[in-house]
Structure 1
């Protein structure tokens, strides 16, 4: 998409201010809810748009999980190598990576999926379904009118001094996309974290 280079530049700039902003978003309650759904034993996580690896990848690794992180921003992955060295990282667009079927017990896309045009979400959900093992979970954040001001949105919004691309359809259409891909929505909760309100969605591959 034409926004790729602009997004990469924005995240390069955000990476430079990482230390000052790392404590703004407390996701522990969300992670606690997800871990309650997952098997007690360790597993394999794919973190799409992993950024610097905190807190998501780090939380999984601390519980004994193997984590593969994908991000298109080299500056963020450089931070991940420092902050979460146990995470295997791949420099790539989440729409272009390929993995074996049934390779992961969980997939996360935190503050990342909504930067991909929503017209491309159905195909990505289908691929995530294939990568998940039976009973595996997908956790992701999704933008809504509470954040963008529109029921459907494709455009740019300011974030920490940068302009980022956001894209979403309606929550009902999102549910339909997940179900069409074989992912059953379990939790769809509007949460405010760090002054931002997004949907936090957990879906299961049955």
Structure 2
């Protein structure tokens, strides 16, 4: 089943004088259950592509379809609801809310979805246990390590059971050992829960784990290879 489809996706940034082509005519299909790494040098368009797929930005031209629906024509409110229900995000800066506990950070999207308190508790504890951080429920983000914060970010991304999880340089601020452990976790979630992952990274150990590797250069797809 196709989860994401892009057609001739192009993004041009302009300050009124100079135009920068961040992405040019990118057409891709992402299938359910894939574990994809998007690689490429700085400025190749990785984050731009991820933001367009996730509905965080609008393309200059082209289309993005999520489960067959054209998200490029959706209004802001529709996109917000779609992201909440269908897309999990993992950012390199974690983006946890500092005044909330680990439990509350992971619970927040379920609160926004109107899920009952009992079900929220069960779902949050299930993912925290699966990620090995259940003992951190009452800690604030500044009381735990960077690797633990990124696990919390993963928990928050998957607790809503999204169609797809998008991760932007998730190991960027972590040492190689911790980064490797996090990729292990994401691979396990992909294999056991059939969660679709699309990860932007230039980290060699992340690239080595790709089941499908898409390389970008100068805003275009240089290669798209299924590895295993």
Q: TM-score, with normalisation over the residues of structure 2?
A: 0.34
Q: Which has the larger radius of gyration?
A: 2
Relative CO higher for 1 or 2, CA cutoff 8 Å, sep ≥ 6?
2
Q: TM-score, with normalisation over the residues of structure 1?
A: 0.37
